[in-house]
Amino acid sequence: MKNILQIILITFFTFAISSCAKKDDSKTATAIPATGTGTTASGTISGAAQEWTGLYNMSWSGAEPSGGCIDNSTALTLMSVPTGTVAFKKQFIVTSSTKFTNSMQWYSDTTCSTLTGYFNTGYNGVEVPGSVAMSLTAGSGPTKPTTAAHIKYTEEGYGLMGNTDGTLAYFANIGLTLTSGTEMLIEEERPSTCYSLINHGTQSGSDSTYLFFGYCSTSYPTDWHSTDTVYWK
């Protein structure tokens, strides 16, 4: 997992919410999973002789923190988390054969027991056409596969929740006024299509399955990038 990714993702989410989406008050919900709409794993994404299913936690610098709960001080700073955040989880969740959610959750304790807010981004129209990128750079920390499948997907919308002064202020700073503890759903009005790389893999000394997921590009990348994300389960 590379540090630059954290900054770019936060910047992207801020831009997407403030300039490309609209609030849909009719979809405000309360009877939802604790971590929000779109965070219940279901179905399988398949293609290029691979399958991806379930929930994957982000790895920080090759580590596999218990339950995906990251309390690393450097990570907290680089992720630009809301005031009062002590730990966070970033998860890739497959929700159907054509959908997944990128979930960022904030917590007020080091064991991720007390949720203070979340920022979920849903994607649909997932396609894995079968084409494969070859001779990729493996790198280190962690080592990535030297091949990867092409994947494309489209932004669908966002689920947001804050229940502390810090998380509510975080959203207020990007122009959104939330009711404490109540999820706000926002539909993406001008969805763009992302082209990326995806692959499974393993790491020496670990029994976990790793998911290597490339950054969102306007065409299929030809190699791994510093802003790619590494997950595990």
In this predicted model, what pLDDT tens digit does every residue of 1-22 receive, in sequence order? 333 334 334 443 443 444 444 4
Strand-pairing partners, residue 199, are: 212
**What is the rounded average pLDDT of the residues 13-36?**
53
Residue 122's domain comprises 3-232
Q: What pLDDT does residue 33 have?
A: 87
Strand-pairing partners, residue 46, are: 51
**How do residues 132-187 score in pLDDT, each as one tens digit?**
999 999 988 889 999 999 999 999 999 999 999 999 999 999 999 999 999 999 99
Task: List phi, psi (to 5°) of 214.
Answer: -75, 170
pTM for this one? 0.85
Q: Which helix (H) or strand (E) holds 18?
A: helix 3-19
**How do residues 67-85 score in pLDDT, each as one tens digit?**
999 999 999 999 999 999 9
Cβ atoms of 200 and 92 within 8 Å: the answer is no
Residue 167 token pair: 């998380």
Q: Which of 115, 29, 20 is nearest to 67 (CA)?
A: 115
Domain count, the chain: 1
Average model confidence (pLDDT) across the chain: 88
List of residues 6+ apart from 34 with CB closer than 8 A = 115
CA dihedral 122, 45, 206, 92 (to 10 degrees): 0
Q: Which of 29-43, 96-110, 149-163, 187-201 has the lowest mean pLDDT?
A: 29-43
91: pLDDT strictly greater than 80: yes
**In the 3-class helix/strand/coil scheme, how is 180-221 assigned residue by residue?**
CCCEEEEEECCCCEEEEEEEEECCCCCCCCEEEECCCECCCC
Give the N- to C-terminal CA distance of the chain in Å, as an integer: 15
